[in-house]
Amino acid sequence: MRANRRGAVIITYLTVLDDAYFFLNQAKGRPDVPSIRPLLQRYIRACILSSWIALEETLDYAIDDLKKSGTPAMLPNRSLRDKIQAVLELRGAARLDSALFNETRAIRNSLVHPTKNTSEDTLLTVEQATKVFDFCYQLIRAIYPYNVTLRN
């Protein structure tokens, strides 16, 4: 994470989020034809995994920021969903959309915990990568107190 001060505004750049954005744009720019499918799938997978990594990384920063500001410490053994919801509540943001969380987490989990009884990799779509990226990016902006800017 890199933060720059410009006057009173802090602009934050998250390298892993920038990577996710890059991979998403690469995937969007590729046709879904058999000859390019392995590359397209690589970009989609990288986008999805990088998006979730960026969210979890930013959640840690957000929790540290809350602790520094005197907010009571959060329990370290809480689930990811519970941690996100707690930070959203402390930030005064909207509640976590559980259905969307479950849907995007299932996409991520299909990569991290593949089904053992399938012989082929799961083919993911650019639409799924976009949904995961948008979900994670919006959550990052809601839980982190500083402006997060994407770089190409």
Are 47 and 18 spatial neighbours (Cβ–Cβ below 8 Å)?
no
Q: What is the pLDDT of residues 127-138, one digit of tens each?
A: 999 999 999 999
- Bridge partner residues of 5 (DSSP): 10
Assess whether pLDDT exceeds 80 at residue 12.
no
Are 50 and 20 spatial neighbours (Cβ–Cβ below 8 Å)?
yes
Q: Average per-residue pLDDT in the chain?
A: 86
Q: What is the pLDDT of residues 47-96, one digit of tens each?
A: 999 999 999 999 999 988 888 888 776 655 689 999 999 899 988 889 99
Task: Give the whole-angstrom CA distance, residue 120 versus residue 117.
Answer: 9
**Residue 125 Rama label (left phi>0; alpha psi -120 to 50; beta):** beta
